[in-house]
Amino acid sequence: MTLRTDPRLADPDGLYTALIAAHEGLTEAASRRLDAKLVLLLANHIGEQAVVEEAIALARRTLLPEAAP
């Protein structure tokens, strides 16, 4: 299995809104814990470590300065 990056969500804006709402009222530390727990839950759901590692690498590359347009 390889990482799929094509759009597959029926309502990506709704999901984004739900994610932002989940962070409301949390401290920065609690917000980071929420993100970490969410990643681990979704990684477990995916069940393929190589796919999750590919997603981690892709996400990290998009944050590096040389990846900026």
| Torsions phi, psi for 24 (to 5 deg) | -60, 135
Does residue 69 surpass a pLDDT of 70?
Answer: no
pTM, two decimals, is 0.82
Please write the tens of the pLDDT for every residue from 27-38: 999 999 999 999
Residue 51 pLDDT: 97
Does residue 67 surpass a pLDDT of 80?
Answer: no
pLDDT mean across residues, the chain: 94
CB atoms within 10 A of CB 54: 15
